[in-house]
Chains A and B, each alone.
Chain A
Amino acid sequence: MAAAKSFADKLSFEQIKIELLNTAYGNDRTLIAKLDPRTLFLWYTFFGIAPWFIYSKMILAGMLVFVIGTTIMTKVSRLIIFILILGLLGESGYLLIASFFFGGNLGIIVPLLTLTMKLSVISLASITAFCSMSPERLGEGLLRIGVPGQVSFSISYGYRMLPTLFEEYNHIFMSYRLRGKSPEKHGLFYFRTVIYFIKLAVKSFYPLLLSMAKRARTTVEALETKGGQYAFKNPAVKKLKLAKLRIGKNDYFFLLISVLYLMSIFISSYYVQF
């Protein structure tokens, strides 16, 4: 319990906020982050979708090794990895236990492993692609492939407001604590205390929504004065925004390496079976 408590202490609102923002903006200096968003989109369309249709464990394992490599290269925050692993283990673990109840045996482990591998490849590919792109670059990339300007604006605005949202939520949550009453006894396995906190966490959203709605009014007025509407219709603005995007040597190199690697595992899987 002491370990859990110290973990909970470390996992403060402030900490989560910092992790999230670092995930979004913090690693823009890695090799992958410098690639053109379009390159990453293309790369992701394969690694994000193909695993669903691949059943060779050899190929999946090869892809997994590759995306583990790229994930390491993106220097993503440990919190994200931790959540991912928790999710994957939870999912497979639950399926395993469920299958035992419905007459399954240990043989179920092998197909479950295939599923877990598929999910891992897709998740890690998503992390590689989206955690290394800053919200701005993601927005620019989407704009380039023809998604309306409103979408890319919403993404960057959403991230701009993220820290504010967190702080506001934290304030409201603390308001509940500063006037509320926590259970006298923790109960079995801290049951009562946990319920108390879950209740507060949910209740805090209602005041948050109202206060955010109030803030948005000024933002909408300000956008009007800054020519926000005007920009979405003006092709010259789009051109200016995208002037920085270039597909360069690195992009071709990255795609080439990926293709060569994929080819090699597809070919070797033809000869090696297990």
Chain B
Amino acid sequence: MRKLFQNGKIAFAALCLLGVAVGLSGCGKNEKIVIGAQTFTEAKILAEMYRALIEDRTDANAVVIPDLASSPLVVSAIKRGDLDVATLYSGEIFNNHFPIVDTRDREAVLQQAKEGFDRYFGFKWFDPLGYENTYAFSVRKEVAAKRGYRNISDVKPDADSMRLGVDTTWLERPSDGYPAFTKHYGFTFGSTFPMELALVYSAVAHEQVDIVLAYSTDSRLKAYDLTTLEDDKRFFPPFDASTVMRKDTIEKYPGAEAALSELIGTLNVDTMIDLNYQVDIEKKSEREVALAYLRKVGLLKE
């Protein structure tokens, strides 16, 4: 009898687990606008802004799914309909999504992103939010001062002995990655360490690498006292941040599109660095920072 009772308990526990699993998988089916965000802070802050605006201006509910590993992952998730909204950068067109004309012109890249993602993916690519988050070669401030580095070209004589820390994708990127960089600037680095972007800053600050390829809006550039070198030979393509939304979702929730459009052109690089700083260094939550900002600029009422 006791045995039977125990089996009963196990069966009950299993049923509970099953229930939880079914409940969880059911979540995706709810009528909600799903906002995706990549692993870095800025994407998560913006996602919280989108959520706040959508919930304030419309009756729809929104959820944020953070920490998506890469931008192509975000693109395919939107295409599948797993996500409705996300932030992407115009340079995304260099990731083999569709045929492109190779150019460094800011307007032309943006135009190709808008048209290409509309035509091949059914996304609406909004006008830019107002800032760019591009690659930025950065060194420790005292190294820049001692060696007189101001431009990327200045590094050339020492590059052979330099250790480069980069994110996990740059070495592989086809038209704006390492192989293309080598051709464009005419030098290679002594050794390369592809690693998680979040660790790149600490690695250069602790002198584990000599130069890193940072993201230009990252607050840790400031926090770790790094100097960014000028891209004097115009190698890196533009990376204007834009909100992206599924066209199906727009048809269903026109109000949400209008709400998100209010953010167009409202941000700039310094604001973004500051918002990132509040999360990465001051350890506030992304939601808190997003709401405070929207209230400050009057997009949300107090």
- The judgment on whether A and B are partners is no
Residues of B within 8 A of A (CB): none
